[in-house]
Amino acid sequence: MEKAVHDCLLGIKGIREVVPVYGEKDFIAILDVESIADLNRAVLNVRDISGVTYTQTILGMELAF
């Protein structure tokens, strides 16, 4: 099941990396999108994957030093 979810995640537009992790979550998907609308579409596609029961979206920030 995890391999199938992993492969489905990689097929979603905007997802550039899928990292398997230990703990409460199975994967972290790193997205590179142009807009919040693109992010929304990607998240909705992730939620449609059979075997995905929970998502959490965290927006990163760019630091300028």
For residue 28, the number of C-alpha atoms closer than 13 Å in the C-beta half-sphere is: 8
Grade residue 62 by pLDDT with cuts at 50, 70 and 90.
confident
Give the global pTM: 0.87
What would the pLDDT profile of 7-33 be if each residue is shown by its tens digit? 999 999 999 999 999 999 999 999 999
**Which CA distances in Å does 59 have to 36, 40, 56?**
10, 12, 10
- Better pLDDT: 40 or 61: 40
SS3 50: coil
Conformational region of residue 14, where left means phi above 0, alpha means psi within -120 to 50, and beta covers everything else: left
